Structure 1
């Protein structure tokens, strides 16, 4: 057995076990951590297939961004695990049907790939797949790449606009008013008698009342 084949069996075994623990772990935080382990082993399998771009993309996007968001949401929400476990049996038939469809599709793809497909033609230039993918994106598919980036930008702006709520009980900053602010709007001078003068006037009034034979109220 070759060393690459041994590594494949090791990474594949850990991937299958961690994927099973994602759906069988008693705690949702443990499920998220097992999903991170599954992503790392999937990236290792991509590296064995000499697809380093997909491997680093899987680690950066899913492990570095999506799973951090998952962990943040799971740890911030107060989930009722008993109610979720009670509904587990109700979704088992649907999950088995979907899983069966996925397994059938993967079997057909593998049978097509290893059964009747011909060997891929050798490339003229011995370059990495990252170089070849970047060359295709920024030359032949540059227009589609820019359209996809524009759509993602519009979707991000729409998400921010939808989550923005205007109400009387919500304070928001008006940049136009901040720019046009004047000195009179920021500072107001109020004239009032000092504390010493008010105490002196009170003592003088009390002494005058005592001299007239009146008791101070």
Structure 2
């Protein structure tokens, strides 16, 4: 009974926060409601026993993606008048896109009710380990059967990160390098001095 009540509670909060993501006029508020969406979706994943997906939702989506969206939105100089004008201009296209997506959902549910798609029988190699949690079974599968693919994906991500750093790295000639030895050997009398500025003369830089 408590599981059913909890499911409907988190599902209602998820749908409500998703509506606020779309209806909020302030983009910052939309991102904050999106974070609420992710937390409620993570709670639903925990209810069905998929704690690894719940952890991914909180760490990756809330901790990285949503925070990135929030910083980008707060740093942008958004012209709300232009934003509203663009919304009115693209409203017919949005309605058409919404109708297409709704038709796809109806078609998908109809195909699901007609019978699942037969994509082959499971061979049992990816079966969960008896008596172990979902995360332990997934870890054994990743670092066992798919070890080389997992490592290759890590190398690809590393190359992408290094490439992004190299492409965005700028050499600034006006910025002098740091001389550690010179900083350590600096005397206190060379670093500071007492000034007695005259009235109305200002401070010499």
Whether these two folds match at TM > 0.5 is yes
Q: 1:88 aligns to what SS in structure 2?
A: helix
Q: CA RMSD in A?
A: 3.1
> Larger Rg: 1 or 2?
1
Structure 2 counterpart of 1:163: 168
| Unpaired stretches in structure 2, ≥5 consecutive residues | 187-205
The Cα offsets for residues 118-161 of structure 1, whole Å up to 9 and x where unpaired, read as: 9x999672432212211111111111111111111111111111
Instruction: Decide which structure has greater helix share.
Output: 1
Pick closer, same or farther for the CA change 1:40–1:83 going to 2, 3 Å.
same
Question: How many residues are matched?
Answer: 177
Tell me how far apart the structure 2 counterparts of residues 127 and 99 of structure 1 sit (CA, whole Å).
Answer: 43
Structure 2 counterpart of 1:8: 7
**Runs of 4+ deviating beyond 6 Å:** none
Pick closer, same or farther for the CA change 1:134–1:162 going to 2, 3 Å.
same
Structure 1 counterpart of 2:91: 92
Pick closer, same or farther for the CA change 1:67–1:44 going to 2, 3 Å.
same
TM-score, normalization: structure 1? 0.68
TM-score, normalization: structure 2? 0.71
Pick closer, same or farther for the CA change 1:116–1:49 going to 2, 3 Å.
same
Structure 2 counterpart of 1:145: 150
| Unpaired stretches in structure 1, ≥5 consecutive residues | 188-217
Structure 2 counterpart of 1:45: 44
Pick closer, same or farther for the CA change 1:93–1:49 going to 2, 3 Å.
farther
Pick closer, same or farther for the CA change 1:143–1:46 going to 2, 3 Å.
same
Equivalence map 1:14-93=2 (5 Å): 14-93=13-92
For residue 89 of structure 1, report the CA deviation from its aligned partner: 2.4
